[in-house]
């Protein structure tokens, strides 16, 4: 696919004195990343393209993020010059590929501050990470009548694996409700624990409301009951960074493709003392030490959970993505996104008929809304024709939609490479759509 001509660079503040004054009300001191906004977009070739003859405004980052040049180049370089199956070969290429793959594991360990790279299991994504744990933990530690606590703002990926376990074993799911601001009711949560509670599995950040849940406190409460906690970090790791030791999370799941890395790579972090006690999820090559028809001795951690040839080209590229974002600084990213979110909230909430879902104190740049009585699908389709990519629908969170008594929303989700000008384009487009209806 040809990459069309580059967009015009952002206008400099001095060319827009009025706009700048308005912006300054929200963001008195632009962060270093903000000042470098144009350069950041240039690192992402796809952001230079047009759709329907309009500059692309990509605001669907919670679904997947775009990839910087370095990540794409790493995939090309991997297949051009470092492709060989890992772990098994004595030859040069295999050893080089193994070093890159295991180097990527170490890069993930560092990013999440795990104690040991044995605690980093590569999977295909958050969904597979949660399914792995549901099988493995469910098999070993849960029996009929045992309970799992989740919340009503979970992505289907953190509901359905527990329902499959329920069907297999007769376990039960208990649900923490949210208040009207989209915050979890921690008081109710405390009362859900019983002697049968075996696991808490919670989203760190809601993919619909942007709520950052008070997971440190919730983990402390679970641990006081002797219950381990899995956090679904799909929407947190790219925006807040992760320190699994500071959180004291027992398990943590996330996806590379939402973190500027390639698709098809994810991570399940687990405390070593838990992972040692869990049985393998899948059988095959890589996860064994020895096999005979009398039985199999499993490999050590983390390989016990990694059956078959891993996507070593993908893991290597994921490490490049992590290097890219840590180079920018996770604090800078969080600050930049916070500023963009404040500006977007200000512009969107000024539109007549705008209903924004989620008003949590702590939030990320995920903004779900409805505009008057206009169907979200119509809003999304019209925005698309103006070059603006947003998501519409239930966002794989149908129980939350039911709780909100709606079928779906329009969802805008920001990344650090978005700009205020793009938010202006969105807000102006929504004004036009409102007037059309």
- Applying CB under 6 A, the residues found at the interface with ligand PLP are 62, 125-127, 155, 157, 203, 207, 232, 234-235, 255
Q: Smaller CB distance to ligand PLP: residue 74 or 203? A: 203
**Which residues are paired to 174 by β-bridges?**
149
Contacts of 189 (CB under 8 A, 6+ apart): 149, 176, 218, 221
Element (H, E) at 223: helix 215-224
CA–CA distance, 58 with 131 (Å, rounded to integer): 30
396 a catalytic residue: yes
Q: How far is the CB of 4 from ligand PLP (least distance, A)?
A: 28
Q: Smallest gap, in angstroms, from Cβ of residue 285 to ligand PLP? A: 24
**For ligand PLP, the closer CB: 74 or 207:** 207
- Residue among 195, 142, 196 at smallest CA distance from 164: 142
Q: Among residues 126 and 418, whose Cβ is nearest to ligand PLP?
A: 126
Neighbouring C-beta atoms of residue 255, cutoff 10 Å: 29
Nearest of 298, 300, 268 to residue 283 by alpha carbon: 298
**Residue with smaller CB distance to ligand PLP, 33 or 317:** 317
The minimum distance between CB 342 and ligand PLP, in angstroms, equals 22
Angle, helix 312-328 to helix 330-349, in steps of 10 degrees: 80
> CB of residue 258 vs ligand PLP: minimum separation in angstroms?
6
The residue annotated as part of the active site, out of 26, 38, 63, 396, is 396
Taking the complex as a whole, the smallest distance from the CB of residue 159 to ligand PLP amounts, in Å, to 10
DSSP state for residue 51 in the 8-state scheme: E
Peptide bond into 302 cis (omega under 30): yes
Closer to ligand PLP by Cβ: residue 125 or 241: 125
Tokens 């799909």, located at residue: 234
Look at residues 194, 143, 184 and name the one whose alpha carbon lies nearest to residue 166: 143
**Catalytic residue numbers?**
396
């Amino acid at each position: 696919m040809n990459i069309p001509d580059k967009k015009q660079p952002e206008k400099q503040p001095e060319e827009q004195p009025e706009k700048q004054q308005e912006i300054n009300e929200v963001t008195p001191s632009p962060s270093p990343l903000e000042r470098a906004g144009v350069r950041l977009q240039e690192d992402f070739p796809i952001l230079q393209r047009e759709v329907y003859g309009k500059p692309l405004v990509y605001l669907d980052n919670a679904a997947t993020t775009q990839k910087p040049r370095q990540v794409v180049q790493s995939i090309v370089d991997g297949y051009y010059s470092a492709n060989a199956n890992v772990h098994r070969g004595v030859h040069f290429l295999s050893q080089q590929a193994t070093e890159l793959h295991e180097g990527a594991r170490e890069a993930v360990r560092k990013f999440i501050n795990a104690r040991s790279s044995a605690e980093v299991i590569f999977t295909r994504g958050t969904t597979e990470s949660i399914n792995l744990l549901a099988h493995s933990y469910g098999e070993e530690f849960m029996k009929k009548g045992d309970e799992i606590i989740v919340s009503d703002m979970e992505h289907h990926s953190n509901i359905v694996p527990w329902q499959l376990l329920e069907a297999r074993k007769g376990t039960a799911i208990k649900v923490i409700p949210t208040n009207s601001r989209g915050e979890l009711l921690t008081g109710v949560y405390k009362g859900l624990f019983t002697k049968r509670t075996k696991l808490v599995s919670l989203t760190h950040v809601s993919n619909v409301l942007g709520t950052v849940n008070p997971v440190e406190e919730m983990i402390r409460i679970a641990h006081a009951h002797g219950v381990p906690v899995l956090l679904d970090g799909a929407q947190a790791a790219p925006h807040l960074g992760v320190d699994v030791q500071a959180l004291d999370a027992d398990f943590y799941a996330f996806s590379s493709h939402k973190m500027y890395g390639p698709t098809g790579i994810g991570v399940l972090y687990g405390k070593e003392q838990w992972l040692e006690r869990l049985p393998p999820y899948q059988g095959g090559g890589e996860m064994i030490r020895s096999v005979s028809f009398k039985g199999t001795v499993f490999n050590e951690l983390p390989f016990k959970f990694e059956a078959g040839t891993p996507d070593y080209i993908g893991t290597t590229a994921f490490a490049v993505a992590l290097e890219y974002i840590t180079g920018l600084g996770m604090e800078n990213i969080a600050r930049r996104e916070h500023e963009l979110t404040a500006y977007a909230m200000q512009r969107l909430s000024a539109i007549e008929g705008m209903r924004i879902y989620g008003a949590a104190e702590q939030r990320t740049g995920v903004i779900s809304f409805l505009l008057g009585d206009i169907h979200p699908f119509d809003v999304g389709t019209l925005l698309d024709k103006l070059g603006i990519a947003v998501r519409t629908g239930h966002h794989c969170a149908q129980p939350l939609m039911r709780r909100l008594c709606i079928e779906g929303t329009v969802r805008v989700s920001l990344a650090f490479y978005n700009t205020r000008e793009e938010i202006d384009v969105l807000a102006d487009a929504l004004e036009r759509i409102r007037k059309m209806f």
